[in-house]
Amino acid sequence: MAKIKLPAPPSNPLSSPKRPGKKYGPTGPLGHAEEAGLTAVGWIDERTSLSGGLRWAMFRKVPKGTNWFYTLGSATMFAFLSQAVTGVFLAMYYEPSATRAYESIRYINNEVFLGEFVHGMHRWGSSVMVILIFLHMGRTFFFGAYKYPRELNWVIGVALLVMTMTMSFSGYLLPFDQRSYWATIVGVNINGTGPLVGPYLSEFLRAGPYFGATTLSRFYAIHMLMVPGAIAALMGFHLYLVAKLGTTAPPWIKAKGPEELREDEVTVER
Amino acid sequence: MNKQEKEQYLRDYGTLKSQGKPFFPYAVAKDSAMAIVVMAVIIAMSIVLGAELGPKADPTSTTYTPRPEWYFFFLFELLKVIKPPALVPLATIGVPTICLILLFLLPFYDRGPERRPERRPIATTAGIFVVCAIGYLTYLGAAAGPPTEIDIPIPANVSSQGPEAVANFEAGSQVVAQSGCAACHRFGENGNSGPGPALTNIGARLPAQAIQRTLLNPSAPMPSFSALSEESPKQFAQMVGFLAALK
């Protein structure tokens, strides 16, 4: 990649002392606009001190050798954001009742402007997100990136994987067509065969001993409120740990001391 | 990793990091490019594949195929690999739970300092094996035919009872086929050999009464057919009759 000279982090213009003999203050409308922006940012920063954290997160260094495999995590997050946005638009029309759910989805598909397109994005976006999260986990596994000091981040990642699968399981019922209905019945029954907690889990999912009218609203609540919030929170913690501990270098990249580096440079110059 | 190895790692990593590039704009540029690719793929899939809706969910209907979303196929197929009924709970919950616990605890039992995949033969082999197993089971799930056709020759004891018995047998065969029983059960040449037991000779093993009881009150994960028996007792009786005649 070409070398780009990075701009220095902006210093607070309000704190620099005025020099005598020079004209200060904004000139022209552009200058006024610039100063208004800086003042607003300075006002927020004075009260939140966010700029330090932002600089820490954005200008931290990523190790040498970082390649395209390292974009899979952020790609998964992006797929999640796409799911969240398309999900919000679907929720504007969807009705989580056993009698109305199917009709509302059909209304989205047939009547709403771009309805089927957004519905399709949400539906296939789930497949894309599952693929990406597995690829991201595979990269972490094969590069040994879960080892010290990133053990906790691996555990959080596995929890995020489980939640992603929960999302796709609970979302599968919502269109309430034949396929989703019967597949969910079998899925819930499979959960019920588990030892100890199995029967309680399936009864919780069904909201009772039988698949009833409240089952759909329960799946809707799990899909809309419970799991996405937990995913967003854990994702934030996951990202914080990534920024704090740094992304790993590919395992075959060797760290070179200052002396070895100098030798390296010498050979290059020759 | 002992203390020395940990310190060594942190030192090496610190060196690599100091020789690296800032997250912004280098990594952000790559991440953004990837995000555009992801968006393009999702949009293309939505346009090409659409979001068609099946027929409305109908608890009393008998024409359904309980198939999960494709990325659950490997869990579903796991049920078919493990046959004996006593081991079904092991397949449904046991194996996935154990795998999940192993996955959660991975950094706590794999504590070696080595990170290169070719120098971690056990971990790399296990990883490749799991990837292949999931891929194979997903392929099996995708390749499983639509379980709505059952083609069984009419048994001699049915054809000897006259045309009415034959008609009932064929009607029952239709009901069973449309109910998707073959998704989980084997009928002679048709159907999947699992998770449920083969029903090729079910009539010889169970009397009609017992078959009816099982259909109304099945053991999980099989769905109950009590709705069918209430909505359409005739079809239900044909179903029971067909299964009881399989000898």
| Pair (B241, B173) in one structural domain | yes
What is the Cα B115 distance to its own chain's centre? Answer: 34
Asked which of A9-23, A50-64, A80-94, B182-196 is least confident by mean pLDDT, the reply is: A9-23
Q: What is the DSSP letter of A177?
A: B
Residue A232 Cα, gap to closest chain B Cα (Å) = 18
C-alpha A66: how far from its chain's center? 20
Query: pLDDT at residue B236 above 50?
Result: yes
The rounded distance, in Å, linking the Cα atoms of B56 and A176 is: 6
- 3-class SS of residue B62: coil
Q: Give yes or no for A70 touching B (CB within 8 A).
A: yes
Which residues of chain A neighbour B148 with C-beta distances below 8 Å? none
Contact yes or no for B59 and A181 at CB 8 A: yes
Strand spans (E) along chain B: 21-22, 186-187, 190-191
Quick one: tokens of A137?
């986990």
d(CA B170, CA B159): 11
My answer on whether B232 and B194 are in the same domain is yes
Q: Do both B209 and B238 map to the same domain?
A: yes
Q: Residues B45, B78: one domain?
A: no
Q: pLDDT-based confidence at B235, cuts 50/70/90?
A: confident
Which distant-in-sequence residues (6+ apart) come within 8 Å of B19 by Cβ? A63, A64, A256, A261
Q: Is residue B17 part of a domain?
A: no
Structural domains of chain A, with CATH: 69-245 (1.20.810.10)
Quick one: angle between helices B95-104 and A151-173, nearest 10? Answer: 140
In this prediction, residue B64 carries a pLDDT of 63
Domain contains B162: yes
Confidence of residue B34 (pLDDT cuts 50, 70, 90): very high
Instruction: Tell me whether residues A190 and B64 touch, CB distance under 8 A.
Output: no
**Separation between Cα atoms, residue A113 and residue A118, nearest integer Å:** 9
- Does residue A67 have a pLDDT over 50? yes
B189 found inside a domain:
yes
Between positions 137 and 156 of B, the ones with CB within 8 A of A are: none
B129 touching A (Cβ < 8 Å): no
Quick check: A144 and B115 CB within 8 A? yes
pLDDT exceeds cutoff 80 at B156: no
Give exposure, B49-60, as e/b (b: 16+ Cβ within 10 Å). eebebeebbbbe
B213 lies in some domain: yes
pLDDT in the model for residue A269? 45
* Structural domain count of chain B: 3
Are both B128 and B180 inside the same structural domain?
Answer: no
Look at A171-180, A259-268, B153-162 and tell me which has the smallest mean pLDDT.
Answer: A259-268
* B210 and B181 both lie in a single domain: yes
DSSP B72: G
Domain boundary among B144, B164, B179: B144
Helix (H, G, I), strand (E, B) or coil at B45: helix
For the entire predicted model, the pTM comes to 0.80
Q: Check whether A229 has a pLDDT greater than 70.
A: yes
Which of these ranges, A137-141, A258-262, B130-134, has the smallest mean pLDDT?
A258-262
> What's the CATH code of the domain at B225?
1.10.760.10
Q: What percent of chain A has pLDDT over 70?
A: 85
The answer to the question of residue B15 being in a domain is no
Asked if the structure places residue B240 within a domain, the reply is yes
At B78-119, the pLDDT tens digits run: 777 766 667 766 776 678 888 899 999 999 999 989 999 999
Choose the mutation target among A5, A62, A210 for the interface with B, i.e. most B CBs under 10 Å. Answer: A62
Given CA atoms B155, B160, B165, B166 in this order, what sign does their dihedral have?
positive
User: Do B128 and B165 share a domain, yes or no?
Assistant: no
Q: In Å, how far is A16's CA from the nearest CA of chain B?
A: 26
Stretch (H or E) spanning B37: helix B28-49
Asked whether residue B12 is domain-assigned, the answer is no
Which residues of chain A from 145 to 184 reach within 8 Å of chain B, CB to CB?
145-151, 154-155, 158-159, 162, 165, 168-169, 172, 175-183
Higher pLDDT, A169 or B187: A169
From the list A177, A184, A139, the residue with the least C-alpha distance to A157 is A139
Q: What is the ipTM of this complex?
A: 0.83
Q: Which residues of B touch A249 (CB under 8 A)?
A: 13, 16-17, 20
More confident residue, B150 or A125: A125
Mean pLDDT on A180-196 = 81
- pLDDT tens-digit map of B62-80: 556 667 888 888 887 877 7
Q: Which residues of A touch B34 (CB under 8 A)?
A: 68, 71-72, 74-75, 78
Q: Do B57 and A138 touch (CB under 8 A)?
A: no
The CATH number of residue B96's host domain is 1.10.287.980
Residues from chain B that touch A186, judged by Cβ atoms under 8 A, are 66, 68, 221, 223
**B211: containing domain:** 156-245
Single out the residue in B144, B164, B192 at which a domain terminates: B144
The answer to whether residue B59 sits within a structural domain is no
Of B120, B144, B168, the position where a domain reaches its end is B144
Same domain, B34 and B107: no
CB contact (8 A) between residue A62 and residue B21 = yes
Q: Which of B235, B238, B197 is nearest to B62 (CA)?
A: B235
The verdict on a CB contact (< 8 Å) between A191 and B93 is yes
Taking the CA atoms of A235, A238, A242 and A244 in sequence, report the sign of the dihedral they define.
Answer: positive
> CA–CA separation, B214 vs B217, rounded Å?
5
Do B139 and B192 lie in one domain? The reply is no
Which of the pair, A26 or B39, is modelled with greater confidence? Answer: B39
Integer Cα distance of A157 and A51 in angstroms: 28
Mean per-residue pLDDT for B158-176? 80
Q: For the segment A45-54, what is each residue's pLDDT rounded down to a tens digit?
A: 999 999 999 9
